[in-house]
Amino acid sequence: MAERFRVVGGTALRGEVAVWGAKNSALKLMAVALLAVGRTRLTNVPAILDVTIMAELLRRLGCTVDYDAPSGVVEIDVPEKIGHRADYDLVRALRASTAVLGPLVARTGSADVAVPGGDAIGSRGLDLHAAGLEALGASVHVTHGFLVAEAPRGLDGAEIRLDFPSVGATENVLTAAVLARGTTRLENAAREPEIADIAAMLTSMGAQISGAGTSVIEVHGVDSLTAIEHAVVPDRIAAGTWAFAASATRGDVEVVGANSDHLVAALELVEASGATVTDTPRGFRVDSGGRRPRAFDVATLPYPGFPTDLQPFALACNAVAEGSAMITENLFEARFRTVQELNRLGAETRIDGHHVMVHGVERLSGAPVEASDIRAGAALVIAGLVADGVTTVSGAQHIDRGYAGFAESMQGLGADVTREPDDDPFL
């Protein structure tokens, strides 16, 4: 049954909220497990729908997967022989499943991964992934809707420079190169903390990697890896969500389990909005002082710049801020779909290409809106908190993909946010 979030406006979020491991790391680490025969144990895994989907993909490849969502533990038994095909029904539901491409080519010499369709936040092709694997010696082509990569004689290290610091391409080159012959040097690599987390796990498994977290990564290939236990890095996007929520709602929130070092660019803008950000022994705290936020300009960039995943929250915060701001989206052309829904709540915005001019209003007004993706949905719930009356956010399943117990977390901060059946006859 389709569900939606029902949000009663007028609440300043106060208290503490915990964040689990990063969705964008946990899913990729599950794919990394394919590189080693034996039992891999991941801890601090978020209890989200996407983990369930990735678990099903690994099962179809021949693995045994046990997922204890309440305790945040995933255990993956990888056999000596595994499959090499990721079907469209799972790739369509979970784009991150393309992370199996590198491990499968490295382990089996072949990978058939369905080409994802369009994405609600813009096109994200696999060209850079394919080019990286070809540089390592794989033959890559698309046939019958699948990206097929073949390296029956194994892979060889190479000098590779990405045209763009793509996170996904960096991950697939890295996970393929660890079992390649010789040395791979990857330039213009993505620098996200999740990349460093993957490299840390691979290193514990026996890989030889240097430079992860910088723009140049070197990998010296090894013959085999060993299954291990690894704790997932904290979710910086979830932490950033609560930081902007505290500022937007004029609240005071401690984000427990977060690492502020992974959010420097974002927290600088939270401070620009007028809130005070302080590190605590358990994470960090955002205190708005009960004041209306000030408008702040935003431009999304690859890490360590401001993350595109937090752009919808900057939009929601600026929608009720004092003054005007320019939001520039440099990474995904369709991410401004959030703007259309914010306008339904009374936001004053104007889109010009990849820019949005936002003129802050004192309060928004409750209305039915629809989530188009994970972050847009969560941002609309936050917008509902600073709107008069009731806001309903359809598409609760999108938010479930990125946030464990989102309504319960909101309630723990004093918000009137609940789930209910969505009786829209056209859903």
pLDDT in tens, 58-109: 999 999 999 999 999 999 999 999 999 999 899 888 888 899 999 999 999 9
* pLDDT at residue 115 in the model: 87
Q: Give me the chain's average pLDDT, please.
A: 95
**For the chain, first and last CA: distance in Å?**
10
| pLDDT at residue 366 tops 80 | yes
User: Three-state DSSP class for 117?
Assistant: coil
Q: How far apart are CA 248 and CA 313, in angstroms?
A: 9
Which residues are identified as catalytic? 119
State which amino acid sits at residue 244: F
* Nearest partner of 239 among 204, 208, 282, 295, judged by Cα: 282
Structure token pair of residue 314: 């900057």
Helices (H), 48-192: 49-60, 88-93, 101-108, 127-135, 167-177
User: Three-state DSSP class for 278?
Assistant: strand
State which amino acid sits at residue 135: A
- Angle CA 132–135–138, to nearest 5: 90
* Nearest partner of 370 among 347, 337, 346, judged by Cα: 337
Q: How far apart are CA 65 and CA 85, in angstroms?
A: 17
CB-based burial, 111-149: b 16+ in 10 Å, e otherwise = bbbbebeeeebeebebebbbbbbbbbbbebeeeeebbbb
Q: How confident is the model at residue 425 (pLDDT cuts 50, 70, 90)?
A: low
pLDDT in tens, 219-260: 999 999 999 999 999 999 999 999 999 999 999 999 999 999
Pair 339, 355: CB distance under 8 Å: no
Residue labelled with tokens 């045209």:
163
Q: How confident is the model at residue 331 (pLDDT cuts 50, 70, 90)?
A: confident
* pLDDT at residue 119 in the model: 41
pLDDT in tens, 168-215: 999 999 999 999 999 999 999 999 999 999 999 999 999 999 999 999
pTM above 0.85, yes or no: yes
Number of neighbours of residue 89 by Cβ within 10 angstroms: 13
Tell me, rounded to whole angstroms, the distance of Cα 132 from its chain centroid.
22
* Nearest partner of 331 among 190, 146, 135, judged by Cα: 190
| pLDDT at residue 336 tops 90 | no
Length of the chain (residues)? 427
